[in-house]
Amino acid sequence: VQLQASGGGLVQPGGSLRLSCVASGFTSDFYAIGWFRQAPGKEREGVSCISSSDDSTNYAESVKGRFTISRDNAKNTVFLQMSSLKFEDTAVYYCAARNNWLVSGWTSSAVDYWGKGTLVTVSS
């Protein structure tokens, strides 16, 4: 499985940004795909994921109401729409996936595939 993330950049507080991740190589139709982030000096944390089975979603408390995850099946792409961005959202964002389609327990240790990160910087 290959995951190619894009869309990072510099944005002002309160602004919006959309990340994209193009996925390829899945051998099963049942998987979960989503995002993690890692800020300088901090551990990698799960941000959000979506299930290929029923499009159920999961969000970290810190981003609920501000971030929205979605999929475009035809393009094998998952998106993370980030709004009302805060300084503390600054991090490298990683696209990730696993062969378990459940969205609960979205932790680093439960991920099977990682993409390269894309940097999001929230700064005035």
pLDDT band per the 50, 70, 90 thresholds, residue 111: very high
Q: How many CA atoms lie within 13 A of 30 on its CB side?
A: 4
Average per-residue pLDDT for the chain? 95
pLDDT band per the 50, 70, 90 thresholds, residue 84: very high
For the chain, first and last CA: distance in Å?
37
Nearest to 25 by CA among 35, 17, 33: 33
d(Cα 46, Cα 37) in Å, to the nearest integer? Answer: 7
At residue 28, does pLDDT exceed 90?
no
The bridge status of strand 118-122 relative to strand 91-98 is antiparallel
In the prediction, which pLDDT does 110 show?
Answer: 93
In the prediction, which pLDDT does 72 show?
Answer: 92
**What is the residue type of 90?**
T
> Hey, what are 5's tokens?
């993330």
Report percent pLDDT > 90 for the chain: 90
